Structure 1
Amino acid sequence: MANTALKTFSLTNDIIEVSPEDEIYRYNKDSQKKLDKEAPWSKDPKYFKKCRISAVALIKMVIHARSGVPYEIMGLMQGKVVGDAMVVMDSFALPVQGTETRVNAANEANEYMVQYIQGSEKVSRLENAVGWYHSHPGYGCWLSGIDVSTQMNNQKYTDPFVAVVIDPNRTISAGKVDIGAFRTYPENYKPEGGSSSEYQSIPLSKIEDFGVHADQYYPLEVEIFKSSLDTELLGLLWNKYWVNTLSQSPLISNREYAVSQLNDLQLKLAKAQSTVASTRPVLPILKEDADATSKVLKDAKKKEDSQLTKSVRDSTKIAIEAQHGLISQVLKDVIFSIRPGADPTASLSRVDEVIETTTALS
């Protein structure tokens, strides 16, 4: 199952090259103990700013997430703290039976987790458990109410701890890993100015859960790094699976997700349409009620524009993903279907045309 998942996955996120000495892989036990004793994250709710993840650990998480579709999966991450960054060095899957909407660790998973960490200590692996990851197949990277509760408990008893969410369906469609890292605020803590995050295309069935808990956590900047040895390992993996990657299309392997996106967009447009005010003659308004009525109309107009704007963004995102899938197929056909005796310059000109079209659409 892991091999099948890897065949449909290509790591195209920006990767930060580490120094030749691979300093990030050095582990200073004394400094880690000192940092744990000081625990600066307990004084500042937003102490951690970044989550740096090893490329190999990321591949393991994405393969695990893809193998569980359409169900959620769950795993644990090992690493350390470096300054204001949570550094994930490795990850491992947990024997958790998830559903299409939630995943939670039971006693069996907790026992497996403890045994795995104890086994790591026996073979002189110094990294601690620094977080957990799970998947949201097709509905984006954020924390639900259950996820917030789980992360709050983890930060209460095993801090420092980070929650990572991966969307395997959007990863395939977008051509890069759709991932998010989050930390929750302490109980009864109110962030200044509320939460400010980039717009996400959330399915209609999940919007309420997404909005209710949005102020209880904040996102960390995610960076991917690799060592010189990881570079060799990734090269070997690419040499084995590049044919499968080129021969497959996200439009086919991920068509169920594409259909669900279109169905969700139709529901959102229908909901937006029902809220748009009909064009009826305006009744006369008393002068003293003019200001109050004007404010109500402005608020209603803003709500209408918001719903319609979000629907337009969703439709644009779906169209771009479909266009990229079609363009990749055209490029493959142009490059690999040159007939014997055909003029290669004609094929190159077709490639240039496709590239120009891609640039214009983006």
Structure 2
Amino acid sequence: MPQSGTGVSIEAVDPKNVGYVQANWTVPKMVVGWYHSHPGFGCWLSSSVKGKVVIDAFRLINPQMLMLGQEPRQTTSNIGHLNKPSIQALIHGSNRHYYSIAINYRKNELEQKMLLNLHKKIWTHGLTLPNFTEHTEINGKNVKCKDLDLPFLPKKFCFFDLLMKKFRTMLTLAEPYNKSVQEDSTMTPEQLKTRYVGKQDQKRHLEESGRRYVQ
């Protein structure tokens, strides 16, 4: 629906929709499919919304709380909902005069199944042949046989550049983990309680990297 806005007002009226509503006397109210507000004209979040669907929830920050250094957010956990603000939003006072609120949607069982199947691979994906140009490039790299300085591979080994990078990453994570396991066997239970405080968990990083590379 096209919108037109000025400094003090914004109109979101579709002429075709207005004509349809006027012709249909059973509808008591005029229906407009877009809502926009500027509380106290402190937030100006959008410059052009033609042809877009904008869903954004925000709340103004109390200046007194900001001066006292208090956290204005009622919900501080935005895991899975945190979006990096644009430069235009920061200029207009994002995280200074207002902050975004995490949005949750109500979905029934059928809607959840539909969203889960949105990017699901179909059965014909397994019958698709690889790209000829990419396959030729991979074969050319295999023929060149680059040297790998890895202890668990032969000195001369034909492999892809991507897999070479993955092997080196796994090796850099496996070496400190192997060393830490050997050192743990010589420590007392009291020493083990504070051994990994403030340090990187090598085992977890190794598991996550292996799981990510397998996928």
TM-score w.r.t. structure 1 length?
0.22
Higher strand share: 1
| Higher relative contact order, structure no. (Cα contacts within 8 Å, ≥ 6 residues apart) | 1
- TM-score, structure 2 length as denominator? 0.34
Choose 1 or 2 for highest CA Rg: 2
